[in-house]
Chain A
Amino acid sequence: MNNQPYSGSILRPQRTGLAKWLPIALGAVVLILALAFPYIVDRPRFWLPNIGIRSLWLGVIAMSLVFLNRYVGLLSLAQVAIAGVSAYGVGFVVVQLELPFLVGALVGIVAGTLAAVIVGLVAARTKAIYFLMITLAIGQVFYSWASQSIEVTNARRGLAPINRPEFGPIDLANIQTFYYFALLLAIICYLLCRYVTSSTFGLTLQGIRDAPDRMRALGYNVFGYRIAAMAFAGFIASIGGILIALDRNQVDPNVVSLNSTLDVLVVAVIGGIGSLGGVFAGALVITMLSNFAQNFTERYMTLTGLVFILVLLFAPTGLAGVWQQVRRLVSRRRNAQAEQESLSGLTEQQPRANTQKGTSNEAD
């Protein structure tokens, strides 16, 4: 029952030495690289918006998907639609109602989180493949509505302009400031996800993922917990949606199209569908691919699709899993000798096991 490929274990064996320090060191290196990013790239005007900021919001939305998949066991394809609701919330308030950005951001986050609750109410009664189908359908319905509703979303033309605001000395219109703003939000989202997964709430979610019936018998409201998890993931995706609105300076149906949904899914799968931090690596791969593939091929989507399928076929744990695969290979080599010894030990123990079985049968 627990042999799911990416079920995170609640009781982790105590890590020692290298295994304990490596994730921390890796995190520090990634953080330093992310902070230095505007200074180490050759053309910041190109790299910051096209690679950096885009990776950050793709990663944040993909992280909400990974959170639901890894800790709740629900693969939701509606996360992009939820981010889109949030982005449209910002656009509607700023463009249609002509109110300040902060009001828009608040409305966006509330609307996105509410949308996630509604998606949860509809879909969270089902699971696995049904959940995937229903969330995909809901996302597509929102796309169709967004591209038709003249009075709310301004149909295909979308809502523009959404200008980046200025808070005292912090001017988000400056691309470098905006990059650090997005980075800060992404880090907060990541830490928030980490905090929630290690809280009592997160542990309960994992219990529900692995054994819903047992948790129900223990008195937990399984459906309610799933909705709450959807709401939290919706909140994270909504923050991604606000970054989208600011990054693009507008919001149009393309934000929530099937291709955008697939982009986020590809990011999550390439980064490692079970890894919260891996999504940013996946996002970096996808944004680089989309920007540089144009140099040698027009068929960027085909290339993305091929990479996506290859990862699913051969490395289902994604980039984050490559390290573990390598480590497993090394330890397998190292243990080969020990295994042989234990094998001879097993054959000795075999008869004893049989007698034990025999006695228990007699007792019956």
Chain B
Amino acid sequence: MAQILGIALNGLTLAAVYFMVASGLTLIFGLMRVITLAHGTSYLLGGYIGYVAARETGNWFIGAIAAIVAVGLLGLFIHQVLIKWFQDDDMRVALITLGVSLIGADLMLAAFGGTATQVPIDPELQVATVQLPLIGPYSLLRLLVLVVAIVIGVLLALGISRTRFGAVVRAGVDDAQMTAATGVNVPVIFAVIFALGSALAGLAGVVGGTLFPLMPGQDANYLLFSLVVVIVGGMGSIPGAAIGAALVGLVSQFTLVYVPTYSLVFTFTLMVVVLAIRPQGIMGRKS
């Protein structure tokens, strides 16, 4: 029992990282109907920047902020220089961002090498545990990651459903032309959301890079998982991304323990089952 609960909690903390990556992807898709395949690159770059900044300053939070700002700016650059012109051509945007990820992977390999690194954090926190009922001692750091992801998720959901900016974003999702006609500067909203979505992936990189190793190939890995999460959860929905991330995280952790070789195959099966029952994803709207 304790083991099963422990695996479940591991799955949920892994899901927390997946959710942070995928929420940016789903946010961008929700508003702009384009998918950025450079999202895994944003994750890994965020992690590396966080690693360098935290190592130099000795402060994890400076690393996180540096990653958010740098990856957000990179997202803004990608949007303004490469994507803005083809907003209606989603295939071309997907392919161009795939090209960006190709370049990103190569340049990061050149800059940070092929060995695995981790974002440094207070060594006491690294080993600290809390006593949980039924489970026993459990890593405090992992629980904190879960809390951070929940806070981000709630803030995003509230920000979209309760604030004025959120209302404008939702209006832009439903009818960009009419929203522009009411005086909203839609291109600016698009740019802000694209930068915000990328920055989320950057933050996820720092958080994920504190728990798990950062190395070449992780960009493709996290791109794969965030794609599966948004396909399962439903494109463009923040609650959907949360549900999708939880499912993917739990499935991958349980299968990793009981049938390690076929862990990914089961994740894939999950995606197939969801697609067979609900092609638009669990929380997705029919287009």
Is B66 engaged at the interface, CB distance under 8 Å to the other chain?
Answer: no
How many positions in chain A have a CB within 8 Å of any CB in the partner chain? 40
Whether, in the assembled complex, A134 has its beta carbon less than 8 Å from a beta carbon of chain B, the answer is: yes
Residues on B facing A (Cβ under 8 Å)? 34-35, 37, 82, 90-92, 94-96, 98-100, 102-103, 105-107, 110, 220, 224, 227-228, 230-231, 235, 260-262, 264-265, 267-268, 271-272, 275-276, 279
In the bound complex, do residue A312 and residue B92 qualify as a contact, i.e. CB atoms below 8 Å apart? yes
- A302, B92: Cβ atoms closer than 8 Å: no
Contact of B102 among A75, A128, A262 (CB under 8 A): A262
Tell me, rounded to whole Å, the shortest Cβ–Cβ distance linking A305 to chain B: 4
CA distance A136 to B110 in the complex (A): 25
Establish whether residues A312 and B264, one from each chain, have CB atoms under 8 Å apart when the complex forms. Answer: no
CA distance A137 to B226 in the complex (A): 10
Please state if A141 and B265 are interface contacts (CB–CB under 8 Å).
yes
Q: Please encode chain A, from 68 to 79, with 1 for each CB lying within 8 Å of some chain B CB and 0 for all others.
A: 000000010000
Chain A residues, Cβ within 8 Å of B227: 133, 136-137
The answer for the CA separation of A221 and B93 in the assembled complex, in Å, is 31
CA A126 to CA B235, docked complex, whole Å: 13
A299 touches B106 (CB 8 A): yes
Question: Closest CB of chain A to B6's CB: distance in Å?
Answer: 23
- A-side residues, CB < 8 A to B, are 75, 122-123, 125-126, 128-130, 132-134, 136-138, 140-141, 144-145, 148-150, 258-259, 262, 265-266, 269, 298-302, 304-306, 308-309, 312-313, 316
Q: How many A-B residue pairs have CB under 8 A?
A: 99
A126 contact set on B, CB distance < 8 A: 275, 279
Question: B94 near A132 (CB under 8 angstroms)?
Answer: yes
Q: CB < 8 Å: which of A75, A144, A306 contacts B103? A: A306
Which of B82, B103, B224 sits near A302, CB closer than 8 Å? B103
In the assembly, what is the distance between CA of A138 and CA of B98, in Å? 16
* Sample of 10 A–B contacts (CB below 8 Å): A126-B275, A137-B271, A145-B265, A149-B261, A258-B220, A265-B98, A299-B107, A302-B106, A313-B82, A316-B92
B35, A133: Cβ atoms under 8 Å?
yes
Residue from A140, A148, A150 in contact with B220 in the complex, judged by beta carbons closer than 8 Å: A140
Cα distance A305–B103 when bound, in Å?
5
Q: Is the CB of B231 within 8 A of A137?
A: yes
A149–B263 CA distance with the chains assembled, in angstroms:
11
B267 touches A141 (CB 8 A): yes
CA distance A201 to B286 in the complex (A): 30
B96 & A309 in contact (Cβ 8 Å cutoff): yes
